[in-house]
Structure 1
Amino acid sequence: MIEKYQWVSNDISQNKKIGLDLYNKEVAAKVIGFHSSFEQYSETPLVQLKELSKYLGVGDIFVKDESYRFGLNAFKVLGGSFAIGQLIANTLKKDISSLSYKTLISEEVKKEIGDLTFITATDGNHGRGIAWTAEQLKQKSIVFMPKGSSEERLNKIKSHGAMAEIKEMNYDECVREANKLAEEKGYTLVQDTAWEGYEEIPIWIMQGYLTIAYEIYEKMKALNKRPTHIFLQAGVGSFAASMCGFFSSVYPENKPTFIVVEPNKADCIFRTIKANDGQLHCVKGGMDTMMAGLACGEPNPIAMEVLRSYAEHFLSVPDEAAAHGMRVLGNPLKGDERIISGESGAVTLGVVSQVMTKEALKEIKEGLKLDENSIILCISTEGDTDFKNYRKIVWNG
């Protein structure tokens, strides 16, 4: 499987840098202020894997465990909830800083904004976040999922009162179907990718993810640590760009090296960077990767601006890298903390482990400048959101 690794570098010195005002510390503070008003909010763990770092021959490894986020086992709710909060704030002509969670779910606000229906397409976690937020606000939600989606993830979305179904189409076709219905019925599309004329909500979603980055930044500052390498998984690229933007902003003089990781079967960002022609390069068809949350064929153009400007390396990797990461995190070395991480969450740590130990990947290791001084950050974006598949991989191989 190792030969399926593909790597391309991006010479950011040759690219025009976009501004980072949308992803800076001030914006992140506003976002975490909003999220921390939720009764369900608590900071998720930043786990230091000291024994694994020794074993792999690097300075340190930190993994942010998003399986604890709001009791939903994944990070995606952060983006959807903040975007919906911003939508309501705009409707009420108020700054979101003045709208706490309790205010948002109040009958007074419900009367003022009326009945809303939020619609989205998802591989699972984003849709559940939208359905959960709509449920809290006593509003309606509709969720479309691509062919091959997990029935378990579908049922979890339905448990929040959403009208949800698995379509006979891929993720990007589901996005277009959701947008079409939104336009026909007057629903509110809350989608984590952008296109011409649909940019504001995707930016709000990307900003919503900054709660993760802000928590990491404050925790690592307290430990007197700074990441030298940040590995980020990508579907459409919104999450990766959000993290890349924030950490480039807070460490302007000593920016970490960013490595963006995608599955072989859905590596639209890798293809876009490799082509280096200013165009977006899409992946068509079923994209039947195990990493369901990353099975996206069309990059978010807003995210691509950030990644072109600040991310140095892009990897297209086999599903086996994700399975390896799940097993390493779930079966830690003695002294390290166990992390239950799903397919899309574990792939970055799986890549770190394989790149550091496989002779066939030595060129990538050297190209990324990974050594005993490297302080590596990975973000486990989901827990066992597909419980059956998690057990199948970790127990049965």
Structure 2
Amino acid sequence: MSTFSLNMEIADNRHYNGQLSSLFTAAEAKKALAFHSGIEGYQSTPLQSLDCLAKEFGLGKILVKDEAHRFDLNAFKMLGGAYAIARLLCDEFKLDINAFDFDKLKNDITEKMTFATATDGNHGRGVAWAANKLGQNAVVYMPKGAAVERVNSIKSLGAECIVTDMNYDDTVRLAIKTAAQNNWKVVQDTAWEGYQEIPTWIMQGYTTLALEAVEQMAEQNVKAPTHVFLQAGVGALAGGVLGYLASIYGPDKLHSVVIEPETADCIYRSGISANGEMVNVDGSLDTIMVGLACGEPNPIGWPVLRDCATQFVSCDDAVAALGMRVFGNPLGTDPRVVSGESGAVGLGLLAAIHFHKDKADLMQKMGLNKDSVVLLINTEGDTDPLNYRDIVWGGKYPTMA
């Protein structure tokens, strides 16, 4: 195949200090996993090994934690939303999260609570799913341009879904304002002054997938990954997962790469800032990676990324589209992975490096070689089926002119 060059801005983290977070420890991850494993239908999502592709790319191993198989939701987000709602209900009814029982609590609650959130799709569906499981109400706000399929999937879970004429960050502000007026509980995966506990619970909920991956790597005789690629919107997933993995393997032994779309690269810009302060990105935030279309970093996640991430990457949409196509058309005996726009950007980055005319230099810059073991997180499947087919079948967002 011919070489081609996609836009990828790769920056070393100038603020790295290796300071571990006290919020995303092994103990907290085990607590979250114990909760999730008590939900009916729970099973670990697969950790797929793309051995033929790794050989093609000149790597030792490519491992993919495939969250498209998380319950029946096609994405990882319920791990955070369900855990946070459960913690909220435990506080409200003086219950022990370690003995949480969905069915018992659903029957015991006499007055319904309403949970509100803003979402690009997957987080809102996770909140709606958890509220539905517990017989509660959910109101979900979505930014302009939300796909009809994502709206309908939220409504199918019994939630009210309101599509605004605003971008994601302004939609969050609307959800907060409306919730305050109606005495609803906000379940949002970012934080602000006076709102820290719930987003922390959400991020701790995400560590379940990381703990599962660590256990699965041990079962596959993989001692440790050398690299982890993490996509970032507000940085909640990236912060929670990196915080846990850094505590397990050591931040200095794990080459961690945080990836964003170039139109919503608030984490990247924060990483290259002079003082390590959070940098917001304004505007429409338009990208096919709708789950990453966020312009304001999570204040809980950013310190973890600032202290422990190795590199930050800002890339164009064609990188994610390339990842979707490579996932969906496996080499040799590799399994096929159905990955949505936000889920595929990690593999897209690896593929874009492989096909780049400056591959050798890029590999060296990212510390990649024949011994590298790269862990990727496929955060979602085809949550927008029509767009998935337009990209994978129709060649939308091409890599070659």
- TM-score class normalised by the smaller sequence: over 0.9
Report what 2:9 is aligned to: 6
- Give 3-state SS (helix, strand or coil) of 2:225's partner: coil
Cα distance between partner residues in 2 of 1:120 and 1:35: 21
Report what 1:186 is aligned to: 183
Q: Which residue of 219, 225, 228 corresponds with 1:227?
A: 225
The Cα shift of 1:288 comes to 1.1
Cα distance between partner residues in 1 of 2:325 and 2:273: 34
Report what 2:78 is aligned to: 77
Ranges in structure 1 where 5+ consecutive residues have no aligned partner? none
Residues 1-397 of structure 1 mapped to structure 2, 5 A cutoff? 2-11=5-14, 13=16, 15=17, 17=19, 19-105=20-106, 107-108=107-108, 110-111=109-110, 114-225=111-222, 226-252=224-250, 255-360=253-358, 362-397=360-395
- Give 3-state SS (helix, strand or coil) of 1:147's partner: coil
| CA displacement 1:183-240 (0-9 Å, x = unmatched) | 1110000000001111100000000001100100001112221100000000000000
Aligned length: 391
The answer as to whether partners of 1:127 and 1:157 remain within 8 angstroms in 2 is yes
The answer as to whether partners of 2:18 and 2:308 remain within 8 angstroms in 1 is no
- Structure 1 residues 148, 79: CA separation in 2 closer, same or farther (over 3 Å shift)? same
- Give 3-state SS (helix, strand or coil) of 2:29's partner: helix
Cα distance between partner residues in 1 of 2:264 and 2:161: 24
The answer as to whether partners of 2:37 and 2:43 remain within 8 angstroms in 1 is yes
- Give 3-state SS (helix, strand or coil) of 1:22's partner: coil
Query: Which letter maps to 1:373?
Result: D
The Cα shift of 1:181 comes to 0.7
| CA displacement 1:148-206 (0-9 Å, x = unmatched) | 11111001001111110211000000000000011111000000000111110000000
The Cα shift of 1:362 comes to 4.2
- Give 3-state SS (helix, strand or coil) of 1:62's partner: strand
- Structure 1 residues 265, 253: CA separation in 2 closer, same or farther (over 3 Å shift)? closer
Query: Which letter maps to 2:117?
Result: T
The Cα shift of 1:253 comes to 7.8
Cα distance between partner residues in 1 of 2:141 and 2:270: 26
Query: Which letter maps to 1:376?
Result: V
The Cα shift of 1:254 comes to 6.0
Cα distance between partner residues in 2 of 1:253 and 1:235: 21
The Cα shift of 1:3 comes to 5.0
- Structure 1 residues 323, 376: CA separation in 2 closer, same or farther (over 3 Å shift)? same
- Give 3-state SS (helix, strand or coil) of 2:145's partner: coil
- Structure 1 residues 140, 26: CA separation in 2 closer, same or farther (over 3 Å shift)? same
The answer as to whether partners of 1:117 and 1:141 remain within 8 angstroms in 2 is yes
- Structure 1 residues 208, 151: CA separation in 2 closer, same or farther (over 3 Å shift)? same
| CA displacement 1:233-254 (0-9 Å, x = unmatched) | 0000000011100100111386
Query: Which letter maps to 1:86?
Result: R
Cα distance between partner residues in 2 of 1:361 and 1:179: 45
Q: TM-score, normalised by structure 2?
A: 0.95
Query: Which letter maps to 1:354?
Result: A
Give me the CA root mean square deviation: 1.4
The Cα shift of 1:287 comes to 1.2
- Give 3-state SS (helix, strand or coil) of 1:144's partner: strand
Query: Which letter maps to 1:208?
Result: G
The answer as to whether partners of 1:60 and 1:374 remain within 8 angstroms in 2 is yes
Query: Which letter maps to 1:139?
Result: Q
The answer as to whether partners of 1:2 and 1:361 remain within 8 angstroms in 2 is no
- Structure 1 residues 42, 339: CA separation in 2 closer, same or farther (over 3 Å shift)? same
221-230 vs 312-321, greater mean Cα deviation: 221-230
The Cα shift of 1:104 comes to 3.2
Q: TM-score, normalised by structure 1?
A: 0.96
The Cα shift of 1:4 comes to 2.1
Ranges in structure 2 where 5+ consecutive residues have no aligned partner? 396-401
Cα distance between partner residues in 1 of 2:246 and 2:44: 22
> 4+ runs of 1 displaced by more than 4 Å?
none
The answer as to whether partners of 1:231 and 1:377 remain within 8 angstroms in 2 is yes
Cα distance between partner residues in 1 of 2:252 and 2:194: 35
The answer as to whether partners of 2:323 and 2:348 remain within 8 angstroms in 1 is yes
The Cα shift of 1:345 comes to 0.3
The answer as to whether partners of 2:143 and 2:164 remain within 8 angstroms in 1 is yes
Query: Which letter maps to 1:192?
Result: D
